[in-house]
Amino acid sequence: MIGTVLVANRGEIARRVMRTCRDMGLGTVAVYALADAGAPHVREADAAVPLDGDGARAYLRPEALVEAAERAGADAVHPGYGFLSESAAFARAVAGAGLTWIGPPAEAIEAMGSKTAAKALAERAGVPVSAALEPERVTEADLPVLVKASAGGGGRGMRVVRALAGLEASVQAARAEAASAFGDPAVFCEPYVERGRHVEVQVLADAHGAVWAVGDRDCSVQRRHQKVIEEAPAPGIGDGLRERLHDAARRMAGAIGYTGAGTAEFLVGEDGEAAFLEMNTRLQVEHPVTECVTGLDLVEWQVRIAEGEPLPEGGPPAPRGHAVQARLYAEDPAAGWRPYSGTVARFDVPAARTRFAVPDGFGVRVDAGVEAGTRVGVEFDPMLAKVIAWGRDRGDALRRLAAALAGARLHGVGANRDLLVRVLRHPVFAAGEMHIRFLAEQGLDGPVPDGGGADGRAEGARPPGGGVPELALPLADARAVRLSALAAALAEAERNRAEAPVLGALPAGWRNLPSAPHVRRYRGPSGEEVEVAYASGRTGPVPAGDAAGVRVHGAAPDRVELLADGVLRAFAVARAEGAVYVDSALGPVALVPEDRFPEREAAVPPGTLLAPMPGTVARVAAAAGDRVEEGAPLLWLEAMKMEHEIRAPVAGTVAEVARAATRADTGTVLAVVEPDPGADGAL
């Protein structure tokens, strides 16, 4: 019997595993890198062990994790997902130290560790697979193809190639990224299915020969080949295909002597034919949707199976209702998925009934890695939380989840929340007609991992005339932003009055005679300037200018009520890290107060490229003295497990460029391109 579990992970999944351990009466041990010293998972564990090093590297040393377990008195290790969760070497090191590994046998992990080897094994087991092509053997007839890393996952080391002229560059880029992310540069190609669906089957297997296919999930809505929205059961696949997928997953698990929780992933084409992609020998990020519809605690069953307990006779529970999960990422979809960083001032989902557990009835669950005070850096994955809705049917779950996200209060760090709500309410998604290029067709694929053709352009098209894709627009429209800005200005006036050392009992801005309007300016959610005005009089503030028809029903430093267009609305107002956050039924709005007396910004010479975010230079494609064309890649900046391509803004000569492995803060000069004489921006 297991007594204490060391969770060899961090963030949301560490907290999730610890919740089940507490329910089972097990002790918990956390590990943490320097950047995670104050993280929630560290505080919630019974004991915690610091790891040498910072960032992801701290969690990637098997010997250090085994030593931490021994030092803290743990007798079992749960790897979570990511990091070393699919490392056969780590599984062997844990077992070699006499500890219980809460996961599949090292041999099973090894068998599925290479995607090409896994495809060959699947074929021998009678499971349909897509062809694995050597890059040098790809012909025009094979296009389009997807270049993939043989090891690892999460969208790293993947490129779509549509023209042979772009193949070599895409393969080299994928190899470099795979080597950096997984320590293995091996890549292969497979046919790229334009509008396929990503469907997977959850597997549970015990050490006594029983293998369960615990339902299926659809994970087709992806950005940069990484999942964004997942749901169970997979909608619209039909009973025949569902049974074939379940049977294939059971055969795969049986063929490698699998035990514990795992997932077989398939790509389903428009013709309904399925091909095996890979098997993840660990718990999946999207496991909560399966837990909701089946009532199973998959982490609990991982522990039970590790202790030798058999699965009950009779098979897995039939799914009840429908569950949908959205991944809340700290990134900006409208800016090429650029990551956000900062300190979370507030994270609250009022609609949530449970955290890290299945609700006792249809409702909303939240699995979060952050809370107020959590610092979000660029060292780790950008996922802040998972919000899951369980409903009577798919429509019920979608409505619950969209409302829960729209009503969430996330202050201090930007996120993709508005995109998630718009996708959940999109008629194509609501009809169950999504596919892996859904976001790409909306112009939201971004330019980095999808190399496109020989010109290196992204595979998805931006809207006509450019601009922000509709799905990435803020939930609050222009009218809502102006009302929110007015509420922010009035709340600020109330706060100033409350803090005033004298005359604090008078109404805000009280004047015996009418006064000139007070004007406040903010930068809105899309970078636009928002100006609002109000006058002061004997009865308090009176909106002016564009808001002259609005009436103030009540105002306090944290809440303002406005009567606009005959409707009374409440606005909750909070400040954090130089921004004002206004939450209302019209949509969340983040505003940045404009400085009345801004300092003059230093001029940036033409052709200078500044780091848009903190990160590390992963690779460099140009050197000082090189002649480059406008749009040519100069380097790749890695932040939050993703690479962001930095391109030449003009045609010219590279004057300087940062070296690989250079750490950069926001605003650091990464490269300088001296424009050609007579070119735009040339002196």
pLDDT the model gives residue 55: 87
| Predicted TM-score of the model (pTM) | 0.89
pLDDT the model gives residue 173: 86
pLDDT the model gives residue 22: 98
Q: What is the 3-state secondary structure (H, E, C) of 624-673?
A: CCCEECCCCEEEEEEECCEEEEEECCCCEEEEEECCCCCEECCCCEEEEE
Give pLDDT < 50 ranges for the chain. 447-465, 681-683
Residue of 561, 543, 545 whose CA lies nearest to 553: 561
Do the beta carbons of residue 445 and residue 439 sit within 8 Å?
A: yes
Give the CATH H-level superfamily of domain 128-191: ATP-grasp fold, A domain (3.30.1490.20)
Domain 478-593 is of which CATH architecture? 2-Layer Sandwich (3.30)
pLDDT the model gives residue 541: 87
pLDDT the model gives residue 645: 84
Beta strand 346-348 pairing with 409-411: antiparallel
Cα(130)–Cα(306) distance, integer angstroms: 33
Cα(218)–Cα(270) distance, integer angstroms: 14
% of the chain at pLDDT higher than 90: 72
Q: Where are the beta strands (DSSP E) in 497-607?
A: 518-523, 529-537, 540-544, 551-556, 559-564, 567-576, 579-583, 589-593
CATH of domain 608-675: 2.40.50.100
pLDDT the model gives residue 460: 43
> In the chain, what are the domain boundaries?
4-102, 128-191, 197-472, 478-593, 608-675
User: Is 19 strand, coil or helix?
Assistant: helix
pLDDT the model gives residue 603: 67
Domain 4-102 is of which CATH architecture? 3-Layer(aba) Sandwich (3.40)
Please list, in sequence order, all residues whose beta carbon lies within 8 angstroms of the beta carbon of residue 140, skipping any fewer than 6 positions away: 164
Do the beta carbons of residue 219 and residue 200 sit within 8 Å?
A: yes
What angle (nearest 5°) sits at the alpha carbon of residue 151, between those of residues 150 and 154?
Answer: 105
Class level of CATH domain 197-472: alpha beta
Residue 639, strand partner residues: 642
